[in-house]
Amino acid sequence: MRYLDEYRDSGIAHALAARIRARVTRPWTLMEICGGQTHTILRYGLPELLPQQIELVHGPGCPVCVAPLEIVDRAIEIAARPGVIFVSYGDMLRVPGSRSDLLRVKAAGGDIRIAYSPLEAVRIASENPARLVVFFGIGFETTAPANAMAVWQAKQHDLRNFSMLVSHVLVPPAMRLILGSPTNRVQGFIAPGHVCTVMGFEEYEVLAAEFQVPIVVGGFEPVDLLEAIAMLVDQLEDGRAELENQYSRSVSRGGNQPAQQLMHEVFEITDRQWRGIGAIPASGYRLREEYAAFDAERVFATEEIQVEEPPECIAALVMQGLKKPVDCPAFGTRCLPERPLGASMVSSEGACAAYYAYRRHAAPEVAR
């Protein structure tokens, strides 16, 4: 299959691994931002191919993991109301809220539907005028254009029964938080290829220059990631700190302009809570005032929510590159995919889920 087989080719992968081994002279800690990249790394066992000196830590780019507990609880509260059709990406259904999750609300009679696109929710709203249809609009810059399109279409068609529960977050402010922390260990970043497909990479050029840190925009296949790691190692060994684009078959400097225009039309920048990490200024989107009628938080006046996070969960430290999932005493014992303490164990992009699914057999030093 084109664009797939060549990026999963064992010969190319081993050649890249050899290039990294030949180049590396001392330890480097690298972070891939996106949870999709984390899953590829663990699924293909890439750490087994890399020299000991390269440590990969896993970033905050798992939309399900960083969606704040408060918004999950709010979603659960709205989805349980009679007359509501709650539409969500499948991943969010198993995410534990303070006291329940969406799957249990569904089992108790809530009309919760899984969609692959927010436009499906718009269609459901137009077909069910007597019901209030709510889409759970979470994610990074990657899902923002489709969510913006859904709200924009709902406004065009004057669909008064459609609204969106928005908890959009942005990658660059989270990288800024990690880089600005006194405990930061990350010396080079693999930037998220899909986010950059939408947004371009000018924001990352700024970060690379400001923090003097190499950043390579990377794809999602194993060969993409090994090439991005090789490019980072070259920069680090050369003493350079630049933005480079490995994922050039998808990412351009300016990104997808029509998508950005639509996002700008519908959303505006706001402060956002990140699950476990806390509030990050100017780190997300909310609906603009002109689209307030489609904002589920305004449509449904929900009561003040008291959140309860399991204190044992270390997902926030994992997402900042400070810990590995296997460092958690609950990993694989009190926290399992079917009984998660935190979202990172259930999301298909969560680092804890990736370690559990692919690497829990390995001795800790191999899992690293």
Partner 1 sequence: MISLSCPAPITGTGSVLLGHGSGGKLSAELLRGIFLRAFDNPLLARLEDQAVVEVAGARLAFTTDSFVVKPLFFRGGDIGSLAVHGTVNDLAMGGAQPLALSAAFILEEGFPLADLRRITDSMARAAAAAGTTIVTGDTKVVERRSGDGVYVTTTGIGLVAAGVSLSAAQARPGDAVVLSGAIGDHGIAILSAREGLELDGDIASDSAPLNGLVEAILAVTREVRAMRDPTRGGLASTLNEIAAQSHVGITLSEDAIRVHAGVRGACEILGLDPLHVANEGKLVALVPADCADEIVQAMQRHPLGREAAIIGAVTERDPGLVTMRTTFGTTRIVDMLAGDQLPRIC
Question: Which residues here bind partner 1, judged by CB under 8 A?
Answer: 1, 4, 8, 10, 13-14, 42-46, 48-49, 90, 93-94, 96-101, 103-104, 106-108, 114-116, 120, 123, 222, 308-312, 329, 334, 336-341, 346, 348, 356-362
The DSSP result for 219-268, as a single string, is -SSHHHHHHHHHHHHHHHHHT---EEES-TTT--SS--HHHHHHHHHHEE
Of 200 and 340, CB closest to partner 1:
340
Of 25 and 333, CB closest to partner 1:
333
What 79-84 contacts at long range (C-beta under 8 Å, 24+ apart), as own/partner pairs, is: 79/105, 79/106, 79/110, 79/111, 79/112, 79/134, 80/105, 80/108, 80/110, 81/132, 81/300, 83/130, 83/131, 83/132, 84/110, 84/111, 84/131, 84/132, 84/133, 84/134
Of 2 and 26, CB closest to partner 1:
2
Minimum distance of partner 1 from residue 137's CB (angstroms)? 18
Of 157 and 360, CB closest to partner 1:
360
Minimum distance of partner 1 from residue 49's CB (angstroms)? 7
Of 108 and 301, CB closest to partner 1:
108
Contact 198, 144 (CB under 8 A): yes
Of 40 and 260, CB closest to partner 1:
40
Minimum distance of partner 1 from residue 353's CB (angstroms)? 9
Minimum distance of partner 1 from residue 116's CB (angstroms)? 7
Task: Quote the DSSP letter at residue 344.
Answer: G
Of 119 and 293, CB closest to partner 1:
119
Minimum distance of partner 1 from residue 284's CB (angstroms)? 24
For residue 166, list its beta bridge partners.
137
- Helices 257-266 and 144-156 cross at an angle (nearest 10°) of 60
For residue 132, list its beta bridge partners.
84
* Strands lying side by side in the sheet with 162-169: 111-114, 84-88, 132-139, 162-169, 278-287, 267-274
Minimum distance of partner 1 from residue 340's CB (angstroms)? 8
d(CA 17, CA 277): 34
d(CA 258, CA 207): 24
Minimum distance of partner 1 from residue 89's CB (angstroms)? 9
Minimum distance of partner 1 from residue 332's CB (angstroms)? 11
Angle at 28 between CA 22 and CA 29, to 5 degrees: 135
Minimum distance of partner 1 from residue 16's CB (angstroms)? 11
Of 290 and 312, CB closest to partner 1:
312
Alpha-helical (H) ranges within the chain are 10-23, 35-43, 46-49, 63-66, 69-79, 102-107, 118-127, 144-156, 171-180, 193-199, 202-211, 222-238, 257-266, 296-299, 315-319, 351-359, 364-367
Of 99 and 240, CB closest to partner 1:
99
